[in-house]
Amino acid sequence: MPTVGVLGAGIAGLTAAYHLQQQGVSVQVLEASGHVGGVIQSERRDGFLVEHGPNSIRSSAPALEHIVQDLGLADERVWANDAADTRYVVRDGQPTPLPRSVGAFLSTDLFSTRAKLRLLAEPFIGRADTAEESVADFTRRRLGPEVLHYAVAPFVGGVFAGTPGDLSVQHAFERLAALEDKYGSLFMGAVRRALSREGDDEGDDVPSGLFSFRDGLQTLPTALGDALGGQLSLNTPVTALRHDGGQWRVRTSSSGETTRTFEALLSTIPLHRLADLHLDTPVNLAPLRAVSYPPVSVLALGYPRAAVRHPLDGFGLLVPPVERDLNVLGTIFSSTLFPNRAPNDHVLLTTFVGGGRAPHHATSDTDALQSLVTTDLQRLLGVEGAPVFRQHIHWPSAIPQYTLGYGQVKKTLNKLERTHPSLALAGNYRQGVSVGDALTSGADAADRLLTRLDAPAAQHTAR
């Protein structure tokens, strides 16, 4: 059985390595930083539990559930508070709940009567005459401008830290585009899919909902890292890759330059880094180099409960770009979402700034950032006084943007794998940016590699 080198110990790399290990394949994971999990990092300090990157996972991926069960993490899991079903979107400076029922939709102030009537036209709107469309054009065409401004744009800010005018609906929201493609209408498609699923018990084993773990999301990568044990090398940045005589030579700069040899490679290194590894290949890597990963800053602030006027009875709030007086992308009510995120009688608010919408804000120093964030929180949530806790995390390259033309990136990735059958590529640039998507892409890439290496265990995956 060949030894597979897995590059990167984010959730995609750890999952891929664990999956290969379970199939009896010898793996070695090479990770540049001193910790596992990539952007998944949780930190407890002064009684507050801060998430540096993702705050919650939506459980729906069978591969994710398999790992949670297999590693015995089900008892550690904490489900989001019921209140988290409420999500606020800011309109005219006011946090307004996003409606969750037809009744709430009819009475909400988030959309005007005109916008509500416009939605009724959705089933009668024809398809676009272009093969690819931005999320903004797609939403404006099918659902009208207000739904774009007050539902889709804030959501795109929350998921991608991106802007709907830049992202491709075919790649960033593949399932949405597929509904139009297949049924001609989002409403009709959603209804027909819901009806066809009635009585269908597929996926019953996968509990649904948002979750984390008692000690934060870091629990998941830590458990995967522990399972990999000595097959994991931290502080081992990969600096160059060469395919030579049927083997991969991987140069690392851990303690001096070292070259390691593997029969196969599975890379989960972000594209902006992968493209700089001097990979000697006939494939043109320019589309990979061009993928944008805008910076994001996360500012976690702790306050005495009494210092915040808003009831914080929800997941958090999202700020649409059309609310031009405000600077933040959104704030998660972290201490409402999960238990034990703040000491008694205190709250934790986690605010995101920057992204494709305002990259310059993400690079502000901590004091400037705090001033920008607290100005918005004061207006939106009635936050008074100085925070008693503060943690600033800066991500220089946060989340890949699936922009118009992203098909070229996917083609390049597929071509790389076809040209080098002993190479597989996975990560949040491949089949979605959520933790569940990145994890699934790691498991899928491990399967592809197993099949190509002709390992008989490939059929035995429990997914």
Q: Which of residues 340-399 bind ligand FAD (CB under 6 A)?
A: 395, 398-399
Among 9, 63, 156, 425, binds ligand FAD (CB under 6 A): 9
Stretch that binds ligand FAD, among 268-276, 313-321, 342-350, 366-374 (CB under 6 A): 268-276
**In terms of CB distance, is 288 or 435 closer to ligand FAD?**
435
x/- binding map, residues 233-262, to ligand FAD, per CB under 6 A? ----xx------------------------
**In terms of CB distance, is 180 or 437 closer to ligand FAD?**
437
Q: How far is the CB of 25 from ligand FAD (least distance, A)?
A: 19
The site for ligand FAD, by CB under 6 A, has a size of 36
Instruction: Judge contact between 62 and 205, C-beta under 8 A.
Output: yes
Among 21, 28, 268, 336, binds ligand FAD (CB under 6 A): 268
Residue 259: strand pairing partners: 251
Q: How far is the CB of 383 from ligand FAD (least distance, A)?
A: 21
270 binds ligand FAD (CB under 6 A): yes
Give the C-alpha distances (Å, rounded to integers) separating 337 from 120, 211, 313, 350: 34, 9, 9, 11
Starting at the earlier edge strand, list the strands of the sheet with 238-244: 238-244, 247-252, 258-262
Q: What angle do CA 337, 342, 345 make, to 5 degrees?
A: 105
Residue 96: strand pairing partners: 89
**In terms of CB distance, is 185 or 403 closer to ligand FAD?**
403
**In terms of CB distance, is 23 or 267 closer to ligand FAD?**
267
Q: How far is the CB of 201 from ligand FAD (least distance, A)?
A: 26
**In terms of CB distance, is 139 or 297 closer to ligand FAD?**
297
Q: How far is the CB of 256 from ligand FAD (least distance, A)?
A: 16
Give the C-alpha distances (Å, rounded to integers) separating 183 from 90, 133, 190, 191: 32, 17, 9, 10
**In terms of CB distance, is 297 or 370 closer to ligand FAD?**
297
Q: Which of residues 284-303 bind ligand FAD (CB under 6 A)?
A: 296, 298
Give the C-alpha distances (Å, rounded to integers) separating 326 from 9, 92, 102, 376, 380: 36, 10, 29, 6, 9
In 14-139, which ranges are E strands?
26-30, 42-45, 48-51, 57-59, 77-79, 87-91, 94-97
**In terms of CB distance, is 273 or 452 closer to ligand FAD?**
273
Instruction: Judge contact between 394 and 369, C-beta under 8 A.
Output: no
433 binds ligand FAD (CB under 6 A): yes
The runs of H, that is alpha helices, within 255-333 are 271-274, 286-289
What are the residues whose beta carbons fall under 8 Å from the beta carbon of 154, sequence distance 6 or more?
89, 90, 318, 319, 320, 330
Give the C-alpha distances (Å, rounded to integers) separating 383 from 173, 301, 308, 340: 35, 11, 4, 21
Torsion of CA 386, 387, 389, 392, to 10 degrees: -90
| Tokens read off for 194 | 């819901």
The runs of H, that is alpha helices, within 144-218 are 145-147, 153-160, 169-172, 174-183, 186-197
**In terms of CB distance, is 42 or 55 closer to ligand FAD?**
55
Among 17, 32, 50, 220, binds ligand FAD (CB under 6 A): 32
10 binds ligand FAD (CB under 6 A): yes
**In terms of CB distance, is 89 or 115 closer to ligand FAD?**
89
**In terms of CB distance, is 134 or 441 closer to ligand FAD?**
441
Q: How far is the CB of 7 from ligand FAD (least distance, A)?
A: 5
38 binds ligand FAD (CB under 6 A): yes
273 binds ligand FAD (CB under 6 A): yes
**In terms of CB distance, is 10 or 157 closer to ligand FAD?**
10
136 binds ligand FAD (CB under 6 A): no
Rounded CA gap, 260 and 452, in Å?
A: 22
x/- binding map, residues 47-86, to ligand FAD, per CB under 6 A? ------xxxxx-----------------------------
Write the DSSP string, 217-273: TTHHHHHHHHHHGGGEE-S--EEEEEEETTEEEEEE-SSS-EEEEESEEEE-S-HHH
Pairing state of beta strands 26-30 and 346-354?
unpaired
Among 6, 16, 27, 30, binds ligand FAD (CB under 6 A): 30
What are the residues whose beta carbons fall under 8 Å from the beta carbon of 42, sequence distance 6 or more?
49, 50, 51, 52, 215, 216, 217, 218, 219
Q: How far is the CB of 95 from ligand FAD (least distance, A)?
A: 19
**In terms of CB distance, is 110 or 269 closer to ligand FAD?**
269
Report the interface residues with ligand FAD, using CB under 6 A: 7-13, 30-33, 38-40, 53-57, 237-238, 268-270, 273, 296, 298, 395, 398-399, 427-428, 433-435, 438
